[in-house]
Amino acid sequence: MQRKDDKDDKDDKDGKDGDAGKEGRIILVGGGVRSGKSRFAVDYALGLGPRRVFVATAQAFDAEMEDRIDRHRQERGQDFVTVEEPVQLARILREIVDADVVVVDCLTLWLSNLLLAGQSVDDIARAVDEVMAVLSLRRYHTLLVSNEVGMGIVPESALGRIFRDCAGATHQRIVSQADEVYLAAMGLLLRLLPGPVTVVRPQQ
């Protein structure tokens, strides 16, 4: 994977297969924990071109999380170049210039990282806007994986409620610009955008 500072300005203007007229799609894939959203995003990305980047936002704070990250990396195998970035998401997306498709997994972990780093709600909203501004100029397709956290009980802690609200606001911001939106539920994927709503069965 080359990044913007490794290439000249001409390369940054080129699109997939040298077609500067093609624009990358922004695809939001949401759902609950273990709903199949990440697997769907990875499988979808495999069909969007051979140059694939996986941006992982998770941080390994304990052994269980380390094992989980290693397992996911092994599952992806050689199909993706993996970049780990828990906070500076817009910067990483800006630097990627020679990919056909980028998977970001996941947005809610990124939001959590920002909150734990002491960023305010307004800071996070600006960070989301920066990410979307970057994606509007990229030629690669982007699949953004996120957890739908607003359908359960009201979180007990203030931080939990702030996180829930940030996630909901982020999803609304992304949907305003997204080309496709999918929701994973009950082992199936629902395509919400573009309509009509359609059931998409995950690959077995």
User: Could you tell me the two tokens for 39?
Assistant: 């697997």
72: annotated active-site residue = yes
CB 178 within 8 A of CB 136: no
Pairing of strands 101-105, 52-56: parallel
Catalytic residue among 72, 73, 91, 191: 72
Of residues 118, 106, 77, the one with CA closest to residue 170: 106
Element (H, E) at 189: strand 188-193
Q: Which residues does 136 contact at the CB level (< 8 Å), separation at least 6?
A: 177
Q: What are the CB-based long-range contacts (under 8 Å, 24+) for 73-80?
A: 75/42, 76/42, 79/42, 79/46, 79/52, 80/42, 80/45, 80/52, 80/53, 80/54
Pairing of strands 52-56, 81-84: parallel
Rounded to whole angstroms, the maximal C-alpha distance in the chain is: 52
- Could you give the residue numbers annotated as active site? 72
